[in-house]
Structure 1
Amino acid sequence: MADHHDSAPATGRRGGHGSPWAAVLHDPARAEGAVLLGLAAARLGRTEAAIRWFRRAVRLQPGWPDGWAALADACRSAGRWKEAAAAFAALLSLSPTHGAALINLALLERAAGHPRAAVRRLVRALALDPRQAGAWNNLGSALRDLGATVQAAAAWRTALVLDPRQADALGNLGGVRRDQDRFTEARVLLRRALALAPQHAALHGVLAYALSGEGRLEEAERACRRALTLAPGLADPLCTLGLATQRRGGADALRWFDRAAVASPGHPLARFNRGLAELESGALTDGWSHYACRFAAGRAGRERRFAIPEWRGEPLAGKRLFIWREQGVGDEFLFASCYADAIRQAGQVVIECEPRLLPLFARSFPKAVVRAEQPLRGRALVETVDCDLHIPAGSLPRCLRGRLADFPPRSSWLFPDPARVLERRRQLDGIGGDLRVGIAWRSQLMTMERQWAYLPLDDWGPVLGVPGATFVNLQYDDCEAEILRAEARFGVPIYELERLDLKNDFEGTAALIATLDLVIAPANSVAELAGALGVPVWRFGARDWTHLGSGVRPWYPTMRVFQPRAGEPLSAALGRIAAELRRAAVLARRAGAEVLGPRLPARPARRDHSQAPSLRRH
């Protein structure tokens, strides 16, 4: 959302020439007369005639700034962007401190895909007059195009200090907060903007997305419908309406995604959301095809370009394949379930991974070359790698998992360090209990939209109260206060290994998980890692696309999923987990054996806790 600046010429007296109208009457070939005739044509809506008169004026008097200003404004109004830019540039060559020309040329440069040039022009304009709220708003928009969101937000805040009624600045700042998943802040800003510009259809659409992120689905639908009443062809609110419909359990979400794609052909977010809905329903072929839009839709990391072609599923025999990471660590564990199949097909595979995963992945895929991902800064725009083909990790399922039958029965694909597993077993020897259960309760990325998928540890009473279960912390952020509060409230110890960095030491964490009988976690990297290691894991939360139309998550043979039924809160799923855990603990006590699935060799006899100084209970 941008502000234009008027740079039309003055039409008053010009020294020594008398009235401009007299100039027309006495000498219509003079530049002033041509400009006045152009202005008259413009007022009558005869844009092309106006442009012809203004061109004549600058031919007659090429050094007159007012003539170039008139021509630039007319070309801009007619949508003739290149001609407008050329006229503004000519105006600036004659009058370098012409602020309106600087701003308008910046807008044209930004529209042409040159945000750096736009920023330079706007900075010059603001150096001449820093009190222009509209120019600060436009500077923020150009900075956002460059990815400088912090500086962009600062520019919009400056615009609002200068003019609190700057609806575009409010809307732009609200849009950034929405993109940062700071939905409540976005809602407040966007409602302020709409109070100033209630007919602004796009702002209603941005508000709808923020409301959807907050879980205020009915309000989101109303905002979408208001946007579409004002502008029926807007794709974004159609897409948001599809999301809100899907989250409310509606059956016609695909219809809204299709309408968005028609309104804006190839709309990447509509195609991506349709792909997720298709995958969730089990339509894998179409779903994987649309999932490929995740980069353009802004739902994955930055798309990368390579000097080699992307693998599309053609035979790999004798080829060297480069697999690059694109999303978070949890997704990396999931997509790594495809790596063994790619290695079997290709002549050689080079796997790129998050640096913290390098030892674990190198051990787990010994036939591949495993490299740590390099920092984004310093990468070439078009990267060169010593391979024949490349593929982002999230695109492997499109080539290797076209049907549920393509998911192999292997129970694990990641393997911990055996020496560290033995070390972890020694550390856990003295904690007792019939079942050793690792727990985690949230993701590191806790956005407003994602918080509905998690329950605080305070709500884990039914699980923590199961007799015979001993609990080990796997939550990898600062959670000591929560654990202390839960221990005091429920009277159950929650053990933690000292000197183990659960966030960064994936080797140590994998070894710890491998010694446990069970892991209970929501949708986070702990659950994904446990499943990839082949450890029994009970994952709770709402159904998502990774179920692929099934009642399980076919990626993980050792994983059970516990979902709230229609109308139930998430805590109901945790209650069912508690009931299942109680039965499992009873069976373990009776049988004295492992009952939850394939396990590693039996651990040595347990020792008294006092002999395990590296194990800590809060």
Structure 2
Amino acid sequence: MSNYLRNPRKKTGNPVFAPKPSVTAIALGAENAVPLVGAGLVDPASQILGDSASSESLKRLISSTDRIKQIDTLILLKEALVMFKRGDWIRGGELALKALHVDEKSAQAWHVLAIAREKAGDLKTAITCFETALRISPEDAYIANDLGRLAFRLSLNDLAQKFFLHFLASFPNHPEAMNNLASVLREKNDLDGAIEVLQTAIAAHPEDPQLWNAIGTVVNARGDTETAGVFYQEALKFDPDHCHGNYNYGNVLTSLGRFDEARRYFDHALPRFTDPMNVYTCKLSMAFAYLAEGDLKNGWTWYRARTKENTPEHTVYMVQSPRWDADMPLEGKRIFVSAEQGLGDEIMFGSLLPDLIREVGPSGHVGIGVEKRLVPLFQKGFPDCTVVHHHTVKHQGHTVRLFPDIKAWETWDAYALMCDFLPRYRSKMEDFPQHQTFFRPDPERVAYWKALLGGLNDKPKVGVLWKSAISHSRRNRYYSPFEDWQAVLSLEGIQFINLQYGDTEAELEEARNMGLDIWTPPGIDLKNDLDDLSALCMAMDCVLGPANATSNIAAAAGVKIWIASLANTWISLGTDRLPWYADTRMFFAHNALDWQPVMQDMRDALVEEFLS
């Protein structure tokens, strides 16, 4: 722990002591505008403190309005703030608009309107109103602070960083803002910068539990789970009821396999969370703590929190059919099922569809909505079903999912999400089929790839992938660094085939410099041509890698899959394999900072399987 709390980096431009930015630099002028299109909402695990409508914030606004000389504006804004205290954001916003009709250059009126629009969920308008208020009143650092929090919610991290720095120029070492700045840097993968900010903050506020929690979160993102746990315990020493400290320490205990202890900390945190997003996140961690040890009954009960109702992360399904529930009979019904979550999850939970199709029976019909790239795979796998793509967009900070190819929703009896059927078809480990495959690659393409691979040499052909396309501090610790794969890839007698999608030039150049032979298949887009990718995988003797989209595609087709993973991952459900698929094996790392034992185990297994 001490290494993180002494000797901060000495460099120019330390973000804590950055000079106060100019108004031009921080305001969202046309040349600096950041589009909201495609901006995603941030993971709530990154803690941002403060609220533009907290009681403290409203007190400051009331004090600020006292300085307004225009009496009509003053009266309207005072009334608007009364509405805010009642939680009536719509009426408060209407009064702020009236005040702006009286005085369009009132920074306070723009600030009040911004808060109203933010609380009403109109984030795009809110950020415009905040920026206008700051242009009029650049000396008001609290407007910049509110803007920083909103920009962070919209994943506009560069912008959020500028606004928090602007606030800290007026209020140096402010613990809330220092925490928020560190959270932004963590989101940007600048873990050293985040730790440096928190070192300074903790030195100024050594008994602040949130700062200890924050540094634990950053250290955990580095993969140093053990030290992160020490920091979380330090937070709980100063505040045993600190909800985030309890939640985060519970996650550390889950990763260590101490599931009962983990659940006690989640139990302690859950009633202390007030924000719905944090409530759902804690419930999901509770689910994972059950599922990781194979308790499916309790795990699926808690896993219902995945839909995150009444939060910005809740997906709105534009479907004009009733939602299926467990009491609704399925035999003979027309049921439309939407995939949910990420690409790999759409495939993994697709393993439930054969059970559903059997229960619906020949007199019913199943529709399936999946990511567009997966449509050919699901259509071949389930030829008697209607398979369409979903179109997913962001609208005012919310995720909306549509199915453009479904024109007559009245012909469907109900719709469901794939995971709705987990308690029905996977209530115990014996429910998982031992030899089920559900993707059916084109036999001609499989033959083509087998012939091409066979022409290389007579060595066993082993596909390899090593990362996710999404690189982020929250995810990177789940993937071994490419250089650690040298122990596996240097194994003579095996022809390794590159299956990694995305930009791989740096890693392949590194492999060439190490004298490693990784053959890249020509004429295939490994990211987008998933139908042909499944055929390529079928031509392999084995596929190695993390649990990502490609490994799920291969596993669903019945390919032998070996997964490198951190220990106690919930998707293995307390086993040494992925029960969702026919032929899988897990190689567990017990320390995210050291993947060498995993790679040695995988190397030894390759020798035993293919070279003995």
Partner of 1:42: none
Could you tell me how far apart the structure 2 residues matched to 1:558 and 1:487 are? Answer: 31
The DSSP-based 3-state class of the residue aligned with 2:543 is strand
Deviates more, 1:285-294 or 1:430-439: 430-439
Q: 343, 362, 365: which one pairs with 1:348?
A: 365
Say if 1:269 and 1:297, in contact at 8 Å, map to a contact too. no
**Residue matched to 2:476:** 451
Q: Does residue 327 of the first structure (1) align with residue 341 of the second (2)?
A: yes
Equivalent residue letter for 1:415: R
Q: Structure 2 CA distance, aligned partners of 1:169 and 1:113?
A: 23
State the distance in 1 between where 2:493 and 2:136 align.
Answer: 74
Letter aligned with residue 286 of structure 2: R
Between the aligned partners of 2:339 and 2:313, the Cα distance in structure 1 is 9
Indicate how the Cα distance of structure 1 residues 298 and 503 shifts in structure 2: closer, same or farther if over 3 A, else same: farther
Q: 1:180 to 1:287 in 2, by over 3 A?
A: farther
Say which of 327, 330, 334 aligns to 1:316. 330
Return the match for 2:111 from 86, 103, 106.
103
Instruction: For 1:461 and 1:155, locate their aligned partners in 2 and report how far apart those are by CA, in whole Å.
Output: 41
Q: Number of matched residues?
A: 534
1:507 aligns with 2:531: yes
Query: Do the aligned partners of residues 416 and 200 (structure 1) sit closer, same or farther apart at CA in structure 2, a change above 3 Å counting?
Result: same
Other-structure match for 2:8: none
Quote the Cα distance in structure 1 between the aligned partners of 2:353 and 2:311. 22
% identical equivalent positions = 27
Task: Sort the Cα spacing of 1:226 and 1:107 in 2 relative to 1 into closer, same or farther, 3 A.
Answer: farther
Q: Mark the structure with the bigger radius of gyration.
A: 1
TM-score under structure 1 normalisation? 0.75
Question: How many angstroms does 1:70 deviate by?
Answer: 7.4
Counterpart position of 2:560: 536
Greater relative CO (CA pairs within 8 A, separation 6+): 2
Using the alignment, how far apart are the partners of 2:296 and 2:167 within structure 1? 48
2:264 corresponds to which residue?
255
Alignment partners' CA distance in 2, 1:351 and 1:223: 46
Match of 1:159 among 166, 183, 186: 166
Q: Name the counterpart of 2:518.
A: 494
Q: Is the 8 A contact 1:102 1:122 kept in 2?
A: yes
Supply the AA of the counterpart residue of 2:528: N
Q: Is the 8 A contact 1:165 1:196 kept in 2?
A: no
| 1:149 is aligned to 2:156 | yes
Deviation, 1:138, is: 1.6
- Paired with 1:539 and 1:105, the residues of 2 have a C-alpha distance of 51
User: Could you tell me which residue of structure 2 aligns to residue 440 of structure 1?
Assistant: 465
Distance 1:586-1:444 versus aligned 2 partners, 3 A rule: same
Residues 15-34 of structure 1: pairs in structure 2 closer than 5 A = none
Partner of 2:450: 425
Q: CA deviation at 1:443?
A: 2.2
Cα-to-partner distance string for 1:341-370 (whole Å, 9 max, x where unaligned): 122223211111221122122111101111
- 1:397-448 per-position Cα deviation (integer Å, ceiling 9, x unaligned): 2332111111123341111111111221221232223422112222222333
1:66: Cα distance to partner?
A: 6.5
Q: Distance in 2 between matches of 1:245 and 1:505?
A: 40
1:476 aligned partner: 501
On the 8 A contact 2:246/2:268 being kept in 1, the answer is: yes
**Structure 1 residues 258-267 or 362-371, which shifts more?**
258-267
Instruction: Return closer, same or farther for 1:225/1:571 CA change in 2, 3 Å cut-off.
Output: closer
Aligned partner letter, 2:291: L
Residue aligning to 1:549: 574
**In structure 1, what residue type is equivalent to 2:385?**
A
**1:264 corresponding residue in structure 2:** 273
Q: Partners of 1:360 and 1:547 in 2: how far apart?
A: 24
Matched, 1:7 2:97: no
On the 8 A contact 1:278/1:284 being kept in 2, the answer is yes
Give the 3 Å change call, closer, same or farther, for CA 92–425 of structure 1 in structure 2: closer
**Equivalent residue of 1:412, what SS?**
coil
Q: Measure, in 2, the Cα distance between the counterparts of 1:565 and 1:70.
A: 58
The answer to whether the 8 Å contact 1:322/1:391 transfers is yes
Using a 3 Å threshold, how does the CA distance of structure 1 residues 118 and 487 change in structure 2: closer, same or farther? closer
Q: Deviations over 1:501-535 (max 9, x none)?
A: 21211122111111111112222223222211111
Question: Which of these residues, 299, 306, 311, is aligned with residue 294 of structure 1?
Answer: 306
User: Structure 1 CA distance, aligned partners of 2:310 and 2:192?
Assistant: 21
Equivalent of 1:303, from 301, 312, 315? 315
Alignment CA distance shift 1:532-1:195 (3 Å): same
Residue 140 of structure 1 and its aligned partner are, at CA, apart by 3.2
CA contact (8 A) 1:457 1:483 kept: no
* Shift in alpha-carbon separation, 1:575–1:154, aligned structure 2, 3 A: closer
Q: Contact conserved, 1:174 with 1:189, CA < 8 A, in 2?
A: yes
Shift of 1:160: 4.5
Whether 2:418 is the aligned partner of 1:406: answer no
Letter in 2 for 1:259: H
Distance 1:388 1:456 in 2: 48
- Once residues 567 and 357 of structure 1 are traced to their aligned partners in structure 2, the CA distance between those partners, rounded to angstroms, is 31
Quote the residue 1:592 is aligned against: none
Provide the rounded CA distance (Å) in 1 between the counterparts of 2:270 and 2:303.
Answer: 14
Q: What is the letter of the counterpart of residue 368 of structure 1?
A: C
Write out per-residue CA displacement over residues 225-246 of structure 1, whole angstroms, 9 at most, x where no aligned residue. 4544555544222211111222
- Contact 1:133-1:163 within 8 A present in 2 as well: yes
Change in 2 beyond 3 A, CA 1:71/1:315: closer
CA distance change for structure 1 residues 291 and 183 in 2, over 3 Å: closer, same or farther? farther
State the match for 2:540 in structure 1. Answer: 516
The 1:585/1:221 distance shift into structure 2, 3 A limit, reads closer
> Partner of 1:134: helix, strand, or coil?
helix
Given residue 597 of structure 2, which amino acid in structure 1 is its aligned partner? A
Structure 2 counterparts to residues 196-215 of structure 1, below 5 A? 201-215=209-223
* Contact in 1 for aligned 2:313/2:399 (Cα 8 Å): no
C-alpha distance 407-105 of structure 1, shift in aligned 2 (>3 A): same
Partner Cα separation in structure 2 for residue 408 and residue 285 of structure 1: 18
Structure 1 CA distance, aligned partners of 2:490 and 2:580?
31
CA distance change for structure 1 residues 72 and 425 in 2, over 3 Å: closer, same or farther?
closer
* Residue 361 of structure 1: aligned partner: 378
Q: Secondary structure at the match of 2:467?
A: coil
Are 1:519 and 1:535, in contact at CA under 8 Å, matched by a contact in 2? yes
SS of the aligned residue for 2:519 comes to strand
Partner of 1:601: none
Amino acid in the other structure paired with 2:522: E
Distance 1:471 1:97, change over 3 A: closer
Which sections of structure 1, spanning at least 5 residues, go unmatched?
15-61, 588-618
Note if contact 1:132-1:159 (Cα within 8 Å) is conserved in structure 2.
Answer: no
Aligned equivalents of 2:449, 2:330: Cα separation in 1: 40
Query: Would you say the 8 A contact 1:518–1:537 is kept in 2?
Result: yes
Alignment partner, residue 371 of structure 1: 388
Structure 1 pair 282–234 and aligned structure 2 pair: CA distance change class (3 A): same
Letter in 2 for 1:310: R
**Which amino acid in the other structure matches residue 350 of structure 1?**
G
The separation in 2 between residues aligned to 1:481 and 1:255, in whole angstroms, is 44
Matched with 1:55 is none
TM-aligned CA distance change 1:351 to 1:130, over 3 Å: same
The CA deviation at 1:307 is 3.9
SS in 2 for 1:259: helix
3-state DSSP of counterpart to 2:455: helix
Q: Distance in 2 between matches of 1:402 and 1:205?
A: 36
Instruction: Sort the Cα spacing of 1:336 and 1:383 in 2 relative to 1 into closer, same or farther, 3 A.
Output: closer
Distance 1:217 1:430, change over 3 A: closer
- RMSD across aligned positions (CA): 3.8
SS in 1 for 2:514: helix
Could you tell me which amino acid in structure 1 is paired with residue 525 of structure 2?
D
Give the 3-state SS of the residue equivalent to 2:503 in structure 1.
coil
